[in-house]
Amino acid sequence: MNKKKILKKIKYGLRFLPDKMYLQIYYFAQFKKFINFKNPKTFNEKLNWLKINDKNPEYTKMVDKYEAKKYAASIIGEEYIIPTLGVWDKFDDIDFDKLPNQFVLKCTHDSEGLVIVKDKSKFNKEEAKNKIENAMKYNFFYIGREYPYKNVKPRIIAEEYMEDREYGELRDYKFFCFDGEPKAMFIASDRGIGETKFDYYDIDFNHLDIVQHYPNSKKEIKKPINYKKMVELSKKLSKGMKHVRIDFYEVNGKLYFGEITFYHFSGLQPFNDKKWDELFGSWLHLEK
């Protein structure tokens, strides 16, 4: 069992702890200090404050990977939604004969139940079943105490496989939005080869010297063709919310909605320089 799986089991084993106590323990392990819940200042502190104090049941559909598509489509249109090939309650209900040669399986309730199939003739069904069914056992809420996930129904969806021809991968374009205004973004690359890179930019696409968990890419990162449209749609999808991260994909010149994230890195990952934690925190106005 790898380190990540062991850590997940430990976190889940602590689900009996009250939310605030659990978060303080986890936060201290990462930051060597406790969260100031009475007067949070930094971005990470405020994200954890929101976990405890902002429990809108509407958030559940925004993080459910099946329901979020319908939610986003109602705001920005179906043309930006990756087609769903099927949705099931159990792995054994999937009829793989009806799926195309290439597809992606995802669990609706977490970020780990992901299986990418580029060639169905080489698809290891048993391995995929083990991964999906293991993910289905967990309530993702207990890993980071992110309230929106608490009541998501665990299901499995299949989506069309997407890959950009220019980069040979599916890059993520992720926008940090505050009170309906995107302020910064980052690009996730090289995930398919297990060497994930994160590159952060201000909203005018100037590269920022932010490192958070993953290193910057050493390759040239081009501004996406649909960047202006991404900013526009981010505003629409984040309208009326204190803070959300809106994620997109760009595939062969076409723009697709990815997901809505309420707590970047679950509010539990330090920046390379605390000035960024403070700057992002200054954009998040809890008093509103």
pLDDT at 288: 57
- Tens of pLDDT, residue by residue over 243-263, are 999 999 999 999 999 999 999
* 66: Cα separation from own chain's centroid: 14
Tell the CATH topology of 3-283. Answer: D-amino Acid Aminotransferase; Chain A, domain 1 (3.30.470)
> Where residue 113 falls among pLDDT bands split at 50, 70, 90?
confident
Query: Among 1-15, 19-33, 40-54, 270-284, which is the least confidently predicted range?
Result: 1-15
* Listed residue (163, 167, 187) closest to 248, CA to CA: 187
Mean pLDDT of the region 89-108 = 97
What six digits make up the tokens of 187? 């690009």
Integer Cα distance of 285 and 288 in angstroms: 6
Strand order in the sheet with 197-202: 197-202, 181-189, 172-178, 243-251, 254-261
Mean pLDDT of the region 11-24 = 95
Mean pLDDT of the region 122-143 = 94
Residue 147 pairs in a beta bridge with none
Q: Is the pLDDT of residue 1 over 70?
A: no
Alpha-carbon dihedral 165, 238, 39, 184, rounded to 10 degrees: 40
Mean pLDDT of the region 214-223 = 93
Query: Could you tell me which residues come within 8 angstroms of residue 177 by beta carbon, excluding any fewer than 6 positions away?
Result: 183, 234, 235, 237, 238, 241, 243, 244, 245, 246
Contact 175, 246 (CB under 8 A): yes
Q: Is the pLDDT of residue 169 over 90?
A: no
pLDDT at 189: 94
> Where residue 94 falls among pLDDT bands split at 50, 70, 90?
very high
Is the full-model pTM beyond 0.85? Answer: yes
More confident residue, 288 or 37: 37
Integer Cα distance of 82 and 161 in angstroms: 9
pLDDT at 74: 98
Integer Cα distance of 285 and 173 in angstroms: 24
Contact 159, 70 (CB under 8 A): no
pLDDT at 28: 97
Per the rule left: phi > 0, alpha: psi between -120 and 50, beta: everything else, 198 is beta
pLDDT at 69: 98
Contact 113, 136 (CB under 8 A): yes
- Written as one letter, the residue type at 241 is M
Q: Is the pLDDT of residue 192 over 90?
A: no
- Written as one letter, the residue type at 37 is F
Q: Is the pLDDT of residue 193 over 80?
A: no
- Tens of pLDDT, residue by residue over 195-208, are 899 999 999 999 99
* Sequence spans of domains, the chain: 3-283
pLDDT at 283: 98
pLDDT at 191: 83
